[in-house]
Structure 1
Amino acid sequence: MDTPSWPERDSDHLLVTGEQMAALEQQLFASGLPVEALMEKAALAVHKAIQADWGDHLARHGALVLVGPGHNGGDGLVIARELQLAGIATAIWSPFEHHKPLTEAHLRHALWLGIPRLQQPPDPSDPALWIDALFGIGQTRPLGQPLASLLTARQQHQPAALVAVDVPSGLDDSSGMPLGKAWARAAATYTIGLIKQGLVQDPALATVGRLRRVELGLTPSLLAQLEHGTPLGLAMADTRRAPQPGLAAAAGKYERGRLLVIAGSQAYRGAGHLALLGASASGLGSLAAAMAAPLAEALWQLLPHVVLQRRLACSPGGSLLLADLTAADLERRDAVLLGPGLGLLEPEDLSGPPAVAERQAWERLQAFAGLLVLDADGLNRIQVPWLQGRRGPTWITPHRGELARLWPDLAERPALDAARRAAADSGAMVLLKGARSVIASPAGHCWQLLEAAPAAARAGLGDVLAGYAAGRGAMALAAGHSGDGVWLAAAALAHAAAGVACASRGSGGASPEAVAAALMRPNSESTHESTHSQ
């Protein structure tokens, strides 16, 4: 069965580097569109958005536009012109003697209109809305003086009164990392045309503020020229169009996905229960568990619909042993989840005959033809060659620390790049968890979540996510789909949306149990409008 294409490769979803965006602009110029026309269109759209968002502040305190030497500065001068003409008290400041010709022309016109140009660096405590139009895309060097000191002081004195045009100054537009020790911290960033990858990376979130994409009218034929692996951003609204397995109307429980969850131990008693809650929320037909014997005794009381497939022993330290897992336990399963709450084994746990049985269990898992989802200590007990030897589809759900243990050379790489490289090296679909999680496939497809709730970063939610993703994957395979990354991306987005919905009720709202409950009714509880386009 064909893999669903989701979301669309359009302006709302494509995430590009500054270099890619500049190349698209050059194609527009080569087609005959004047540079002046594109600048005017972009700047007018940004002005409209700023006026809509900051109208009251502008009316009370006015605006100061920080003007750079290039076309980002030209955008800022068009914005300054429009604010002045709208009756907003507006001033400009540029620490540069020379500007590109088009920017210089806009500067002359701004002065002709009577917009004052400050001759000295502005007062960082000035209540006016500062509009950062200094550099935009393509920044490669740390900020020099007096900009570095000025923007640092601005953050100290007026942290909520600066917005950025396209990209905050001092920020790498691909990695989201600061280029030096100082950078502009924006309350809002109005990025032009397409979202720049760096703006949605975890290190940039406090710098970018509220992200708004300003429409530039890029045509589908132009966007089609972007590379195959250009990442796609996923906002909460995309849950409404997320792919569904498409199970037959007459499908019985064994045709709606069969999942075995191997999770929980004496050391981590709750993780298995939470993973099973997440799996239950997925809607699959048949759910079974292999877990530590002490936990298994209470399973029927907590989750009576879950079949106890196997009681497993634990090590002296309380970690789960897999030695008793048999080939029959894996038969007729669409998917297996391994990892939440397993615990780690000591060297003495892996000696003698039990070690042979443990190794054989791992060999059975490696040969398992269905989908294998590895999370938490399921990842911490393996090495990359084991993943490379897997026969069936594999999903892994590491956080940065778990990824770094498997791939030390990726520890400092940006999340998009790290996830892509890990997927290519292992042959597995990778969900790299973070504030803005990344999903990557060995074929080069990549997705990134654009929204999340800080209050949803809580212990136990990863277990719910692993169970939910495994359940959705089992359903996809039961319906004849492959274990492609689009299903993992859809599960990650649904989980994030449920977290956002629960967190909106209060700081304690996003408990693992509440998120699992919200996942059972995603259409009503897990969607809201995205703010990433206008």
Structure 2
Amino acid sequence: MKMDRRAAQVTNAPGGPEVSGEPLEALSSRPVHPSEPAEGIEKMKLLSAAQTRALDQATIQAQHITSTDLMERAADAVTSWLLDELLLDYDTAIHVCCGPGNNGGDGLAVARNLHRAGYAVQLWLLPAARHSADFSHQQQQLPAELPAREIDPNKLPALAAGAVVVDALFGTGLSRPLAGVAAALVRHINEAGATVVAVDMPSGLLADAPQPADSAVVRANYTLSFELPKLAFLLPQNAGFVGDWQLLPIGLDPEVIRNTPVDKHFVTAEDLRGRLPKRPKFSHKGTFGHALLLAGSKGKMGAAVLATQACLRAGVGLITTRVPAVGYDILQISAPEAMCLADSASDHISELPELTPYAAIGIGPGLGQHDDTREVLHQLLTTATVPLVIDADALNLLGAHPELQKLLPPDSLLTPHPKEFERLVGEPARDDYHRLEQLRAFVGRTSCYCIIKGAYTVLAAPDGTLYFNSTGNPGMATGGSGDVLTGLLLALRAHKNLSPLDAALLGLHAHGRAGDLALPHTGHTGLLASDIVRFIGPALEELMSE
């Protein structure tokens, strides 16, 4: 939708627009209380619904403002986003649907802002016996020319396909599935074909729990969250509800955020920048570690090649790749910078080499599950004294032989995709929330680090803390992408100046970032695992300390 609007802009102001008729342009001169990032991996904490409400209240107390002031900030931020991002025409039909709580109060203030900016707004209220105090306050501030109509369950609003619907029915406070007229309205919105923008949360989506089957949830095109993301945004089962989520700063108190204890984080480049040491001028190949990779079997040598190339591109000092005899020429030609150890067996790895020279060891890409290979894995788990990165068929062997899991050295890094993780734990997850519980239980039992790959790849540390990665794109859903990640992580685990947590977080971020850097050159459909390898260096360079 193309915008032909006036110069009026809305900023994230502490007091919000005055109801006495102050010009909208004047808002730009008001002071703002921007959120400041906390130290360490603290910038994007994932708060529970209760913590989110507590943060609002703590901000009000710390900044000596009223709850209405904070609501005005939120409404101003939403209004600015609508005007700047959707490029609305003045004749665009805009429907603002409000529930009886504070989420509905946000919607009332947004409707008032849009009306004052000259847009034709239709305001709809969900029938309710009680309303929050802030909702009632906002309702009293509505101009007479902006009627608020209560929704008739027998005659729901007519929503044209080209309309914009602002969903301000229910936010993070929702604790049970929608029913009655609220559920009917949500299903009506979903069927309309309008552009739907959810305020804070898509209505009907539970913030901290899985959705009951067939429950009514708004399917938003955009979700506008205040200051911080929600865990629900990062889970595959909610993708159809959340759409494209955006963060809007409203000045929530940074000190309160910093001091709020959480066990889940959304990790961004700002969290990681500077954690990868810059290379000293007089460094040499021994400075960055010698890695061993056990990979490949007949017909799967490509996995060994990709992992080896990724390890080299990630800056390892030296890499030796152990492959079956059938893969010797393939690897020597495809990765001449690597050293190659050929196994005595032709088609699979049957022997564990001497481990003394190596700073980290990776195993799994293209490995196969031969009995000889299982014994190699057993020997590795019982003799290795350096960090391990375990992927692919090595994970499948651990799943098929659970007794091997008891031998995992502490701080090993496992990199399963969801199906491999299911084999590891021996049961399918009921939903994405249950899978996170399984993940925490697994790392607690093994004292290892474990990731589950996908959009927003999640890393669990041995203490149960979860870290969700912020980089990557759907083009990376291609064969070999996981092998590239294994090689990248192996190089970082061989780096003597990186902790296990930093190595894992840097590797996940750089892997996704390399895919993002490759995307303009390939498009989503044409992105190959080898394209990710090409951009590992630039992705890591962005994270280096000065």
Q: TM-score by structure 2 length?
A: 0.84
Contact residue 439 and residue 485 of structure 1 kept, 8 A: no
- Aligned residue for 1:146? 181
88, 91, 111: which is aligned to 1:80? 111
RMSD, aligned CA: 2.7
- Matched with 1:200 is 234
CA distance in 2, matches of 1:179, 1:225: 36
How far apart, in 2, do the equivalents of 1:124 and 1:526 lie? 47
Asked if structure 1 preserves the Cα contact closer than 8 Å seen for 2:204 and 2:217, the reply is: yes
User: What's the CA shift string for 1:393-426, capped at 9, x where partnerless?
Assistant: 3000011111112224572342544433322222
Q: In 1, Cα distance between the equivalents of 2:319 and 2:75?
A: 55
Greater RCO, CA 8 A, separation 6+:
1
Structure 2 match to 1:168: 202
Distance 2:543 2:118 in 1: 42
1:176-195 matches, within 5 Å, as: 177=211, 180-195=214-229
SS at match of 1:127: coil
In 2: Cα distance, 1:221 partner to 1:146 partner: 41
For 1:218, the aligned partner's letter is L
The one-letter amino acid of 2:215's match is K
Kept after mapping to 2: 8 A contact 1:171/1:178: no
Instruction: Choose which of 421, 426, 430 in structure 2 pairs with 1:403.
Output: 421
* 1:213-292 aligned within 5 A: 213-229=247-263, 231-235=264-268, 237-238=269-270, 241=273, 243-246=275-278, 248-292=280-324
Equivalent residues of 2:42, 2:271 under 8 A apart: no
Distance 1:66 1:294 in 2: 65
Q: Which residue of 2 aligns with 1:467?
A: 487
Query: Once the two structures are aligned, what percentage of the paired residues are identical?
Result: 27
Inter-CA distance 255–193: structure 2 relative to 1 (3 Å threshold): closer
Q: CA deviation at 1:522?
A: 2.1
1 CA distance for matches of 2:255 and 2:402?
40
Contact 1:369 1:393 in 2 (8 A): no
Structure 2 residue corresponding to 1:9, chosen from 32, 37, 42: 42
Deviation at 1:26, TM superposition (A): 3.1
- How far apart, CA to CA, are the structure 2 residues paired with 1:147 and 1:255? 62
Gaps of 5+ in 1: 528-534
Q: Residues of 2 paired with 1:126 and 1:296: CA distance?
A: 60
Of 129, 136, 140, 2:171 maps to 136
Cα 1:242–1:154, aligned 2, differ >3 Å: closer, same or farther?
Answer: farther
Aligned to 2:393: 377
For residues 345-367 of structure 1, the C-alpha deviation after alignment (integer angstroms, 9 at most, x for no partner) is 3xxxx4xxx69xx6365233333
Q: Aligned residue for 1:95?
A: 126
8 Å Cα contact 1:337-1:467 kept in structure 2:
yes
2:409 is the counterpart of 1:394: no
Deviation at 1:376, TM superposition (A): 0.9
Higher mean alpha-carbon deviation, 517-526 vs 423-432, is at 517-526
Q: TM-score, normalised by structure 1?
A: 0.86
Unaligned runs of 5+ in 2: 1-37
Q: Indicate if the aligned counterparts of 1:339 and 1:378 stay in contact, CA closer than 8 A.
A: yes
1:338 to partner: Cα distance: 0.4
- Tell me the CA shift for residue 247 of structure 1: 5.1
TM-superposed CA distance for 1:302, in Å, is: 1.4
In structure 2, what is the Cα distance between the partners aligned to 1:494 and 1:92?
45
Letter in 1 for 2:179: G
Find the residue that maps to 1:61 and give its secondary structure.
Answer: coil
- Name the CA distance, whole Å, in 1 between partners of 2:471 and 2:240: 13
Among candidates 508, 514, 520, match of residue 537 of structure 2: 520
Letter in 2 for 1:86: A
- Deviation (angstroms), 1:264: 0.8
- The alpha-carbon deviation at position 67 of structure 1 amounts to 0.5
CA distance in 2, matches of 1:300, 1:419: 38
1:221 maps to a residue whose letter is E
Query: Equivalent residue for 1:531?
Result: none
CA 1:265–1:86: 2 relative to 1, 3 Å: same
Which stretch shows the higher mean deviation, 36-45 or 359-368?
359-368
* Among candidates 331, 342, 349, match of residue 367 of structure 2: 342
Give the corresponding residue for 1:532. none
Q: Aligned partners of 1:55 and 1:411: how far apart in 2?
A: 42
Code of the residue aligned with 1:276 in structure 2: it is: T
* Residues 507/144 of structure 1: CA separation in 2 closer, same or farther (3 Å cut): same
* CA deviations over 1:9-60 (Å, ceiling 9, x no partner): 13xx222221221122233355554222221222222222222112325x23
Corresponding residue for residue 503 of structure 1: 519
Q: Would you say how many aligned residue pairs link Structure 1 and Structure 2? A: 497
Matches within 5 A, 1:484-503: 484-503=500-519
Distance apart, 1:138 and its partner CA: 2.6
What is the DSSP-based 3-state SS (H/G/I as helix, E as strand, rest coil) of the residue aligned with 2:87? Answer: helix
CA distance in 2, matches of 1:202, 1:154: 22
Instruction: Return the offset for 1:7.
Output: 5.0
- Where does 1:101-120 land on structure 2 (aligned, <5 Å)? 101-110=133-142, 112-117=144-149, 119-120=151-152
| Counterpart contact for 2:352–2:379, Cα < 8 Å | no
* Equivalence for 1:43: 75
Matching residue's letter, 1:406? L
Q: Which letter does structure 2 place at the counterpart of 1:88?
A: Y
User: Is the alpha carbon distance of 1:430 and 1:342 closer, same or farther for their aligned partners in structure 2, counting shifts above 3 Å?
Assistant: same
Counterpart in 1 of 2:476?
A: 456
Kindly indicate whether the alpha-carbon contact (under 8 Å) linking 2:275 and 2:543 is maintained by their aligned counterparts in 1: no
- Report the alpha carbon displacement of residue 88 of structure 1 after superposing the two structures with TM: 0.7
Alpha carbons 1:400, 1:411 under 8 Å: kept: no
